[in-house]
Amino acid sequence: MAYKIVLVGGHATGKTTFAHMARTGELLVDPRPTIGVVVHKIRLDGREFRIWDTAGMHKLRGIGEGYCVGAHGCIAFYSHEHKEACACTDIYVEQFARMCPHAPIVYVSEREDWRIPFRALVELME
């Protein structure tokens, strides 16, 4: 079984860089804004995850709440460098919680080790 994990947060909070690090182990330099959603597959500790990297800019978000359907968990991103994006993160977290009321949400900053939130979600889901 693959866990569907939705990444939410305002623009420039580190979602795409986080997804890239999880997939390749390498830092992504100068990422472009995500349009809609990009789905990445990774394996960690013998588990498969499908990471839904959602757009942080409202105008690029597309169907928004629809991305949350069937999700097992959410990683919400806050940025110390882009505080204005935190208001968007709060809105996206509320949307996720409304669509998936029983799915756990883990909050991270852009500087966290990418493995920590996945392991925390697995503990909360099991």
Q: What is the CATH number of the domain that holds 100?
A: 3.40.50.300
Q: How far apart are CA 87 and CA 124, in angstroms?
A: 25
Calpha distance 14→27 (Å, rounded) = 11
Q: Is the pLDDT of residue 3 over 90?
A: yes
Mean pLDDT of 101-110: 88
CA distance 99 to 28: 30
Contact 56, 10 (CB under 8 A): yes
| Residue 42 structural domain | 2-125
Structure tokens at 57: 């800019």
Q: Give the pLDDT score at 111.
A: 63
Give 120 or 9, the one with higher predicted confidence: 9
Q: Report residue 2's pLDDT band, with 50, 70 and 90 as the boundaries.
A: very high
pLDDT reading at 82 higher than 80: no
| Count of domains for the chain | 1
pLDDT, mean over the chain: 84
Whole-number pLDDT of residue 87? 74
Per the structure block, which two tokens stand in for 13?
């909070």
Three-class secondary structure of residue 3 per DSSP: strand
105, 73 Cβ separation under 8 angstroms: yes
Residue type, 109: S
Where helices occur in the chain by DSSP H, the ranges are 15-24, 85-99, 115-125
